Amino acid sequence: MPELPEVETIAQGLAKRVTGDVVESVWLGQKKEPLKSPAEEIAATLERSRIAAVRRMGKHIVFDLEKNGVAQTRLSGKNRKGHKSSGKAATPAASERSWAAGSAPLKAQWIVHLGMTGRLQICAPDWEIEKHTHAIVKLASGRELRFVDPRRFGRLSVATGADFDAGGVEPLEIDTDQFIERFRGRKTPIKSALLNQALLRGVGNIYADESLFRAGIRPRRRAATIAREKLNKLLVAIKEVLREAIALGGSSISDYVGADGEEGFFQLQHRVYGREGEPCLVCQTSIKRVVIAGRSSHYCPKCQK
DNA sequence: ACTATTTCCTGGATGC
DNA sequence: TGCATCCAGGAAATAG
């Protein structure tokens, strides 16, 4: 279940391997759940685009795309209402020019959310197509980038007009004042607030539990009842947990593996997540599990108040 | 404007 | 062995 550290690891791995490559063609499966944008729009946006960068925003992987202005103009005019062709010379010679040449490239983004079980694999075209493969992106380098997701909680979309807005604020970039402002006054349990991507983006169930343990706060505590000092401690804990996890390549439980298929190791550092009934590593008290907002929440009843 | 609950999905684990 | 049931959980949709 990829959260911020896993997605960061995957995005970095992908960036290393596909930056600069060009999309030749795109195949999209028939299942509609994984597609947040219309299939034709995703395909049209990706095809003939150069992958300028791959980065993470919250739990999303964002591919920054650049396309020759001429080709993009033609596609936009055909596929999007109210978007007129700009009248630039659309000669075949121009559309085949190298990416560096000619007018400024038109930008777009391909956004991938892995959900629970989504994976992006880079492979040779003759690799067996796995069950639950929903997208195959053919690259000019001869490789393929495939999206595989058995549970179909993952999502693919494109942003063409404006930049993709992931909502919320990056937990590794937010400062104490911003954090307190966003979380204080909320009546909801702090655990729910941490999972709310519109507040803070990228923290999921594992890292919420681990951060709350380090900060000594019970997951059911209402955000509004937590003192500023304690909220500050929580933010420090969140940043610490996320940074440590990124350094270890994320947590490999269930389906997660990095871009090259390697596993992460942060699961070995989990102090409460998945440890129901086991002794607290600090005080030996049995770790409890309760359900909050439909999510398993693990905590030490003695260390967390 | 918030908050809480339900729904979507499949595979692996568990129970009888 | 086989079959049914439960559970994992992010985010969108729905209800209050």
Q: Nearest CA to the C1' of C10 belongs to which residue?
A: A115
| DSSP per residue, A199-244 | TBSS--HHHHHHHHHHHT--TTSBGGGS-HHHHHHHHHHHHHHHHH
Query: Do residues A17 and A155 share a domain?
Result: yes
Distances (CA, A) of A287 to A54, A158, A293, A297: 39, 42, 19, 10
The distance (Å) linking the CA of A180 with the C1' of B7 is 32
Furthest CA-CA distance within chain A? 73
pLDDT at A220 over 90: yes
Tell me, yes or no, whether A130 and A193 share the same domain: no
Query: Strand B positions with any atom < 7 Å from protein CB?
Result: 2-11
Q: pLDDT tens across A63-98, in order?
A: 999 998 654 444 443 333 333 333 333 444 444 444
Q: Based on the residue annotation, tell me whether A59 is a catalytic residue of this protein.
A: yes
Q: Tokens for A288, please give them.
A: 């409890």
Whether nucleic acid strand B comes within 7 Å of the CB of A82, the answer is: no
Question: A40 and A141: one domain?
Answer: yes
For residue A249, name the pLDDT band (cuts at 50, 70, 90): confident
| Residue A133: CB less than 7 A from any atom in strand B | no
The reported pLDDT for the residue numbered A262 is 57
The kind and range of the H/E element at A288 are: strand A288-292
pLDDT tens column, A2-36: 899 999 999 998 999 999 999 999 999 988 888 88
Chain segment A225-237, per-residue pLDDT in tens: 999 999 999 999 9
Q: Say what the pLDDT of residue A45 is.
A: 96
Of A69 and A221, which is predicted with more confidence?
Answer: A221
pLDDT at res. A100? 52
**Closest nucleotide to A295 by C1' from CA:** C9
Question: Of A81-95, A140-154, A200-214, A290-304, where does mean pLDDT reach its minimum?
Answer: A81-95
Distance A131 CA to B8 C1' (A): 19
Nearest nucleotide, CA A274 to C1': C8
pLDDT, position A102: 60
Active site residue A3: yes
Mean per-residue pLDDT, A41-59: 96
pLDDT at position A103 is: 73
Can you read off the two tokens belonging to residue A148? 């595989």
Q: Work out if A97's Cβ lies within 7 angstroms of strand B.
A: no
Residue A208 lies in a domain: yes
The whole-number pLDDT of residue A31 equals 85
* A130, A159, A188 - which closes a domain: A159
Residue A51 binned pLDDT confidence (cut-offs 50, 70, 90) = very high
> Per the residue annotation, which of A59, A138, A155, A271 is the catalytic one?
A59
CATH number at residue A188: 1.10.8.50
Catalytic residue check, A2: yes
Question: Would you give the end-to-end CA distance of chain A in angstroms?
Answer: 28
pLDDT at A184: 87
Predicted confidence (pLDDT) at residue A119 exceeds the cutoff of 50: yes
User: Rounded to whole angstroms, what are the CA distances from A238 to A101, A110, A186?
Assistant: 45, 28, 18
Number of Cβ atoms within 10 Å of the Cβ of A93: 8
Mean pLDDT of the A273-285 span: 93
Range of the domain at A45: 4-159
What pLDDT does residue A1 have? 73
Q: Return the pLDDT at A257.
A: 46
Do A189 and A209 contact (CB within 8 A), yes or no?
no
Q: Are residues A181 and A262 in the same domain?
A: yes
Positions 134-193 in A, CB within 7 angstroms of strand C: 151, 153
pLDDT digits (tens, 9 = 90+) for A133-177: 999 999 999 999 999 999 999 999 999 988 998 989 999 999 999
Residues A190 and A123 occupy one common structural domain = no
Q: Do A188 and A257 fall into the same domain?
A: yes
A290 touches strand B (CB under 7 A): no
Helices and strands: H and E segment counts in chain A = 8, 10
Split into its structural domains, chain A has a count of 2
Q: Return phi, psi of residue A163, to 5°.
A: -65, 150
Instruction: Name the nearest CA neighbour of A144 among A118, A123, A119.
Output: A123
Q: Which of A3, A66, A144, A210 is catalytic?
A: A3
Amino acid occupying residue A256: Y
Shared domain check, A147 and A15 = yes
A188: CB within 7 A of chain B nucleic strand: yes
Average pLDDT for residues A268-297, to the nearest whole number? 90
The CATH number of the domain where A39 resides is what?
Answer: 3.20.190.10
- How far lies A227's CA from each of A4, A168, A221, A223, in Å? 26, 22, 11, 9
Determine the pLDDT at residue A91.
41
